Structure 1
Amino acid sequence: MIVLGTHKAAADLLDRRANIYSDRPDLIVLNLLTGGMHWGFARLDDLWKRQRRGAHEALSAQTVKDYFEYQETESVIMLHQMLTDPENFADHFSRASTSLALSIIYGWPPLLDSSHPLIPLVDQFNRELLVAAAPGSFWVEFKYFKWMQHLPRWMCAWRRNAEASFIRDSAMFEKLSYDVQKQINAGDEATSVAGKLLQDTGTKGFFEAAWNLASIYSAGAETTAGQLAWFMQAMILYSEAQRLAQEEIDRVVGPYRLPTFDDYERLPYIRATVKEILRWRGVSPIGLPHRLIQNDYYEGYLLPKDTICFVNNWSLHHDKTIYGDDAEHFNPGRFLDDNGNLKSSIVDTRDEGHASYGFGKRICVGRHVANNSLFIHIACLLWAFNITSEVGGHSDLPDSLQCKEGLIVRPSTFRCNITARQADVAEIVAQAKADKGIRDCDTVFSKGMNDHDAMTNTPSVSTT
C-alpha cells in the first residue's frame, strides 16, 4: 500500500497513468454487500465500463443543467424546514440530498418530510459500504487472512450479514427501478435517469441497470449533505466569510426574491465558497483506493502489481506551497483575483481547485450535480439566514478537527443559531414554494403495500 501526499504524485500516477492505476482492490465483504454491482467499488472490467458510460451520459456537465429546477425546488423546501425547525438542520440537508437523487434518478416528486422512511435505509446502505471499503475493517481483507473466505458460512457472521444486506438492498433498488419500468410499459415518457437507462438496456439488462442507478443514488444522497454540515460550521467559525458572501448576494439578488441559477455567473464569491468548503473540509479526506494492475516505476521506486494507492486529500488540501500560509483556515478569497473574479484553477485539479472528486477514470461522475447543489443551497441559506454560534446566550465554538470518522466524514454534532435576516423571509419562501407548486399532497403514499414494498419498507409513490 502506498499513500500519495502531493498533487504532483497523485496526478502523475492516477491521472497521467490512469490506464494502469484505475482498478479497485478486490474487497471481499463489500462485493458481498453489492453483489459486485456497485460501479463505484467495482473492478475495471466490462461491467464497470458499461455502467460508468451510462452514468456519465446522464450526469455530464451539459445534461445536469436540466436538473436546475429540481435543485432550486429542494432549496426552497429546505429553507421552509429551516424556518420551522432550525435545530435539525442536518436532517434537512439529508432530506434535500435524498429527495434530489430520487427526483433526478427515478422521477419522484420532492420529499417534504425529513423523517421519510427511505432516508435511513439509504443512510444504512451507505454506512455499510463505507465501513467495508475502509482499510482494516475486516480480517478477511488482509492478505494473510483471505483464507477466511473459505470457512463454512455458519462460522462467518460477516458473510451472513453482508449477504442479508445485499438481498434487502437489491429488493429496494429493484423496486425503485421497477416502478419506472411500469411507467415505460404504460407508454409514459421517461425523462428520469432511470427511464433513459432502462429504455437503453431493455428487460435483459434490468438488474444491471437497477444497480447502476443504485450506485448513482447512494453517492448523491450522502456527500452533499455532509458538505453542507461542514459549511454551517465554517460560517460559525469564519464570520467574515459569511459577511462577504451575504454582501455579494444582497448586491446581486436583493431582498425580495431567492437566488436562482440565473445568478450563477454574478456570484463568484459563492462559487469560490463551494470550492473552499470542498478543500477545507472535504468529506473524503483519503478518497477511495486505487489498484495498480502491473508493475510500475516512479521516481526511483518500484511499485509492484496489486499495490493499493490512497490519496491523502487532507495533505493535498492543506499544502501551504499551493494554498498559501493560511491553508489551515477557511478563506474563499483564495480562489478569487484582485477584481473578485474566479482565478484560473490550480493545475491538475480539472478546474475544481481541489482533489475531493478524485482522479483519473475514477473521478466522481456526479461532481457537476454536487457543485450545482452546493451552489444553490449555500446561496439560499446565506440569503435567508444569519448563522452564529450563540445559542441560549452562550457562544460555544465547535472544534473543526473533530469529526465522525470513516471514508466519508461529517463534523461531530454541534449547535448553531439560525435566524432570519429580515422579517419577511418566511413570506418570500412561502411564495416561492407556492410558485413551484409545492404542496403537502405532492407526495402520496399508498396505504396498501405489496409484498415487494413490505420487504423493502419502501412506500409506493404516485404524483398528483
Structure 2
Amino acid sequence: MWDTLLFSIGFLVVTLRVIKALQLGQKLPPGPSGFPIVGNLFQIPTSQPWLVFDQWTKQYGPIFYLNIAGQDTIVLGTHKAAADLLDRRANIYSDRPDYIVLNMLTSGMHWGFSRLDDLWKRQRRRVHETLRAQTAKEYFAYQEIESVIMLDQMLTDPENFLDHFQRASTSLALSIVYGWSPLLNSDHPIISKIDQFNRQFFVAAVPGSFWVEFKYFKWMRYLPRWMCAWRRDAEETFKRVTITLEGLSMDVQKRMDGGDDPTSVCGKLLRNVQKEDFFEAAWTSASYRFARQTSGQLAWFMQAMILYPETQRLAQEELDRVVGPYRLPTFDDFDHLPFIQAMVKETMRWRGIGPLGVPHRLTQDDYYEGYFLPKDTICYANVWSIHLDKNVYGDDAKHFNPGRFLDDNGKLESSIADTRDEGHVTYGFGKRICVARHVANNSLFIHIAFLLWAFNISAEIDADGNRNLPDSLQCKEGLSV
C-alpha cells in the first residue's frame, strides 16, 4: 500500500513538473538540453562542477538554466549578473534551499544555511554585533598569539603545516567564541571532535549529497525512520553535538556568573538573551566556528607562494622595509603593509575556498534580461567564473597577482565594484554575505605576514634537482575546497 501511494505521489509530481517545464520552456534562460524527468542531473560532474559551469557560461552567457531532477536552477557567471540579482534584488534572492539532512543535523539553527525567517534575522543581527569591523579589532591579540604558536610549530614540525593551520583556525575560533586559552597542540581532542562534525556538516551542505534533497525525491523524508540511515545519523549527531555546544556555553555562563567578563562571542550573546533562549544562543555561537575556513585559505596561499615566487619576494621586501628583522609584525603595521593586504585579497580571488558559493533561493517569480525565473529557483553564483572574468580582473585573471589591487605607487586601490571593498566575492552576496569576514581577513593578514617574515616558502626538490610543483586545479572537494 505504502509503495503504491508513494509511487503515485512521485508520478504526479513528475507529471506536473514536466507540464510546467513545457509551459515555461521558451521563457527560461538558455542552457544545456537535458533528459526526460531527470533533466540535467547526470550532466553535472560530481567533481569540480564549477569548471563545467565555466564552459557553459562561455557557451550560453552570463545566466544559464538547469533542470536538476525537477529543481529549477540558474547559474550566474559574471559580476554583473550576480550583483544585479543577489545584491540589488536581495529581498527576494536571499533565501536558502530546503536542506533536509543539514537541518536535521542542526535542527535548523545554523544561521548561515537556515531559511530567511525571523529566527535567521534574530541570529544574524546578534552575531553581526559581535563580529562587525570595529568589534573585530578586539580579537587582534588572540590572532597575534595564534600566529606566534603557528610559527613555533612550523619551525619544529614543518612537514605537518596543514595540521598547524587547522589548529590555529580552531584555536582562534574557540578563543573568540568561548574565551578559551590557545590550544598548544594540533592533536587536541576538541579539534578532532569539531572536525568530525564539520565533515558531516559540509557533506550535508553540498546540494544533492542525498537523494532526499532532490525535488522529485523529497517524498523520501516521510519514509519510516528505520528505513533511513541518513535520518538516524543526522538526528543522533544533532543530539550529541548539542550536548557539547551547550556544555561550552554553560562554561562561559559560569565564568560570567563568577565575575569574569570574557571578550567572547558567546559571552556577548548570553548577556543579551533570555534564559529560555540558551539553546538558541549555544547554536548561534557555534555556527560561527562552523563557517570559518581560514586554514583552507592558508593552504592555497602556500601553493601560490610556490607557483609565484616573485610575489613572495616582493612581500618580503615590504616586510623587511617596514618591520625589519628584529621584531614580529603586528596589526600596528597594517596600514604600512599594502602588499600583504593585497595578498589577502588575491588569495581569496585566485583560489577562494567556495568556487560555487552557497546557493540562494528565489522567493517569488522574477524577470531578468528578458528571461523568466520561477519562484523557488535555486541560484548559484559561479565564483570561479566571476573571479576569472578578464573584463574585471584583466588578461592575467587566471594568475596570482596581488599587484592588481595596487596603484602605480604601491598603494591599495579602491576595490572592484560590487564586492563591498573586498575585491572578490568569496564571502558571498546580499544579505547572506559572510558576517565573519572582517575577522577572517584580519587572521589571513597576520598569518601571512608572520609566515613571510619568518620563512622562505619553496617547492620540494627531487633527486634530479627538479622542483615538484603542485597542480593548482587539484583540491579536496566539498562545500569548501
Alignment equivalent of 1:127, drawn from 199, 213, 216: 199
In structure 1, C-alpha distance between the alignment counterparts of 2:256 and 2:331, rounded to whole Å: 31
What corresponds to 2:417 in structure 1?
Answer: 347
What corresponds to 1:82 in structure 2?
Answer: 154
Alignment equivalent of 1:35, drawn from 97, 101, 107: 107
What corresponds to 2:435 in structure 1?
Answer: 365
What corresponds to 1:232 in structure 2?
Answer: 302
What corresponds to 2:221 in structure 1?
Answer: 149
Alignment equivalent of 2:389, drawn from 315, 319, 323: 319
Alpha-carbon shift at residue 392 of structure 1 (Å): 5.9
In structure 1, C-alpha distance between the alignment counterparts of 2:204 and 2:370, rounded to whole Å: 33
Alignment equivalent of 2:470, drawn from 383, 398, 403: 398
In structure 2, C-alpha distance between the alignment counterparts of 1:385 and 1:43, rounded to whole Å: 45
Q: Show CA shifts across 1:275-325 (max 9, x none).
A: 000000000000001011111111111111100001100000011111111
- Residue pair 2:462, 2:468 contacting (<8 A) in 1 also: no
Alpha-carbon shift at residue 119 of structure 1 (Å): 1.0
Give, as a single letter, the amino acid of the residue that structure 1 aligns with 2:195. D
What corresponds to 1:423 in structure 2?
Answer: none
Give, as a single letter, the amino acid of the residue that structure 1 aligns with 2:300. W
Aligned-pair RMSD on alpha carbons? 0.9
What corresponds to 1:408 in structure 2?
Answer: 480
In structure 2, C-alpha distance between the alignment counterparts of 1:83 and 1:372, rounded to whole Å: 23
5 Å-filtered alignment, 1:210-229, equals 210-220=282-292, 223-229=293-299
Give, as a single letter, the amino acid of the residue that structure 2 aligns with 1:338. D
Long gaps (5+) in structure 1: 410-464
In structure 1, C-alpha distance between the alignment counterparts of 2:101 and 2:315, rounded to whole Å: 44
In structure 1, C-alpha distance between the alignment counterparts of 2:331 and 2:229, rounded to whole Å: 49
In structure 1, C-alpha distance between the alignment counterparts of 2:262 and 2:276, rounded to whole Å: 18
Give, as a single letter, the amino acid of the residue that structure 1 aligns with 2:392. I
5 Å-filtered alignment, 1:10-409, equals 10-220=82-292, 223-391=293-461, 394=465, 395-409=467-481
Report the identity percentage.
74
In structure 2, C-alpha distance between the alignment counterparts of 1:406 and 1:189, rounded to whole Å: 38
In structure 1, C-alpha distance between the alignment counterparts of 2:201 and 2:125, rounded to whole Å: 22
Q: Show CA shifts across 1:109-130 (max 9, x none).
A: 0000011111122212222122
Q: Show CA shifts across 1:394-450 (max 9, x none).
A: 5210000011111100xxxxxxxxxxxxxxxxxxxxxxxxxxxxxxxxxxxxxxxxx
In structure 2, C-alpha distance between the alignment counterparts of 1:69 and 1:202, rounded to whole Å: 30
In structure 2, C-alpha distance between the alignment counterparts of 1:81 and 1:190, rounded to whole Å: 27
- Residue pair 2:74, 2:379 contacting (<8 A) in 1 also: yes
Give, as a single letter, the amino acid of the residue that structure 2 aligns with 1:284. G
In structure 2, C-alpha distance between the alignment counterparts of 1:135 and 1:32, rounded to whole Å: 15
TM-score (norm. length: structure 2): 0.84
In structure 2, C-alpha distance between the alignment counterparts of 1:199 and 1:264, rounded to whole Å: 32
Long gaps (5+) in structure 2: 1-72
In structure 2, C-alpha distance between the alignment counterparts of 1:162 and 1:204, rounded to whole Å: 25
Alpha-carbon shift at residue 163 of structure 1 (Å): 0.7
Alpha-carbon shift at residue 199 of structure 1 (Å): 1.2
Give, as a single letter, the amino acid of the residue that structure 2 aligns with 1:253. V
In structure 1, C-alpha distance between the alignment counterparts of 2:474 and 2:417, rounded to whole Å: 30
In structure 2, C-alpha distance between the alignment counterparts of 1:118 and 1:219, rounded to whole Å: 17
Alpha-carbon shift at residue 169 of structure 1 (Å): 1.1
Q: Show CA shifts across 1:226-268 (max 9, x none).
A: 0000000100110000000000000000000110000000100
Distance 1:389 1:25, change over 3 A: same
In structure 1, C-alpha distance between the alignment counterparts of 2:312 and 2:432, rounded to whole Å: 33
In structure 1, C-alpha distance between the alignment counterparts of 2:260 and 2:393, rounded to whole Å: 51
In structure 1, C-alpha distance between the alignment counterparts of 2:443 and 2:317, rounded to whole Å: 21
In structure 1, C-alpha distance between the alignment counterparts of 2:406 and 2:257, rounded to whole Å: 51
In structure 2, C-alpha distance between the alignment counterparts of 1:320 and 1:204, rounded to whole Å: 52
- Residue pair 2:95, 2:362 contacting (<8 A) in 1 also: yes
Give, as a single letter, the amino acid of the residue that structure 1 aligns with 2:279. F
In structure 2, C-alpha distance between the alignment counterparts of 1:188 and 1:351, rounded to whole Å: 37
Give, as a single letter, the amino acid of the residue that structure 2 aligns with 1:208. E
> Match of 2:75, SS?
strand
Alpha-carbon shift at residue 191 of structure 1 (Å): 2.6
Tell me the matched-pair count.
407
In structure 1, C-alpha distance between the alignment counterparts of 2:90 and 2:252, rounded to whole Å: 35
> Match of 1:408, SS?
coil
In structure 2, C-alpha distance between the alignment counterparts of 1:239 and 1:396, rounded to whole Å: 14
In structure 1, C-alpha distance between the alignment counterparts of 2:432 and 2:98, rounded to whole Å: 16
The structure whose Rg is larger is 2
In structure 2, C-alpha distance between the alignment counterparts of 1:234 and 1:24, rounded to whole Å: 33
Q: For structure 1, which segment, 188-197 or 94-103, has the greater mean C-alpha deviation from structure 2 after superposition? A: 188-197
TM-score (norm. length: structure 1): 0.87
Alpha-carbon shift at residue 391 of structure 1 (Å): 4.3
